[in-house]
Amino acid sequence: MCPVRLTPDHVNLGSYQQSVDGAIAKLDADRIVQRIWEADHTVWNHDPTEIIDRLGWLTLPDTMRPQLRNIQRFASEVAADGIQHVVLLGMGGSSLG
């Protein structure tokens, strides 16, 4: 489950409010947020083949925490070498087909 406690924001959605409230109620009733944190592939598809390997972002903070010193050391080395600009290019799973 998400370890961060979020505080609700309030917005006035005018004529969309009822639709949004209904959608949020359905998400809540179907436990969608909890199921995503549980890596439940059935939120998206009953076949886990394409979904299960795309949920790594859920555990990324815990996975990367032990690498923090290495990342910080690398950043310091890059800065010391005079590199000032970096271009990061990437493609997410959904763009790969």
> pLDDT by residue (tens digit) across 15-39?
999 999 999 999 999 999 999 999 9
Cα–Cα distance for residue pair 96/86, rounded to 1 Å: 24
Tokens of 79: 């800065």
The Cα 42–Cα 46 span in angstroms is 5
Q: Write out pLDDT tens, residues 8-18.
A: 777 788 899 99
- Residue identified by tokens 């004529």 is 15
Higher local confidence (pLDDT), 42 or 91: 42
Is pLDDT above 70 for 4? no
Two tokens, residue 30: 């179907």
83-96: average pLDDT? 78
Residues 6+ apart with CB under 8 A from 93: 53, 54
Percent of the chain at pLDDT exceeding 90: 53
